[in-house]
Structure 1
Amino acid sequence: MQQVVDLQGDEGFSSTGIALLSIAMDPPADWRRSGNELGIELPMLSDEGNRVATEYGIMRWAMAGVEPGHTFVLVDADGRIAWVRDYGAPEHGGSMYVAPQEVLDQVSTALGSGSA
C-alpha cells in the first residue's frame, strides 16, 4: 500500500493529469479500512475473483498462480491499453515497490512525451 501512498503524493505524477486508481483482490471493507488508515484519497477498487486482472491479461504474472502481481496498466484517453508492466515479475526486477519517478518516466515514454 505504500506504493499507492507515494504515487498519490508525488508532485511529478500529480502534474501529469493522469488519473490514478488502485485495484486489489482484497474485499472492499478491508481495502477501504486500509485506505482510510493510510489517508489514501484516490479511487480504490476491489477485484475479488480477479475478473479485471484476467481481462487485462495481468494474471500471466500471478504470484503462486492465484494472486495478481505488482502490475501497472496505463489506459489512454480512448480506453486502450497503452502500457503494462508488472514490476514483481522476474523479468522486470521482481520488486514489490517502485519509485514514483521510475513509473513516471516509463509512463511518459509510453505516452510519447519523453522523460518527465
Structure 2
Amino acid sequence: MAWKNRKVIVLAVSIAASFAAPSAIADGKELLEHCRIAQQYIKTGQDHGGMLPAGRCIGYAEGSAQTLNIVGGHVDPLARVCLPSKLSRAEMVDALVRYLESHPKQLKSPEPVLAILAFTDAFPCPGK
C-alpha cells in the first residue's frame, strides 16, 4: 500500500476516534487480549473469558472491514485493501491477532487505528 494513502486513512480514523470519550478508546493491548478470547470462542464455541470482550473484538473486526469496503473506492488504487468476498469472522479476528502480535510497539495506538492497519496489512490488493 502506498504509505502516503495509508497515512491519510489512519489520520482520518485517528481524528474520528479523538472525538470519542478518552475512556472509550482503548489501546491495542486490550484489543489483543479480547481478540485472543474471540479466537478461542470461534474455535471451540465455548466461553473462554467473557462474551463481551470477544464481541468487542468481533465488532472492531467487522466494523473495520465495512469501513474499508466503503472507503476503498475513494482512495488511490495502490492504497486499496482487497478483502475476500467471503471473509469469515475467524479470518478477521486472526488478521487482528496476527498484526497486533507482530507489531508490539504499536500496541499503544488506539484500537480503531490498529484494526484498520491490520486489515491493510493482511489483505493487500494484488500487484501492490
Query: What TM-score does the superposition give when structure 2 sets the normalisation length?
Result: 0.28
Please identify which structure carries the higher helix content. Answer: 2
Please identify which structure carries the higher strand content. Answer: 1
Query: What TM-score does the superposition give when structure 1 sets the normalisation length?
Result: 0.29
Q: Which has the higher contact order (CA 8 A, sep 6+)?
A: 2
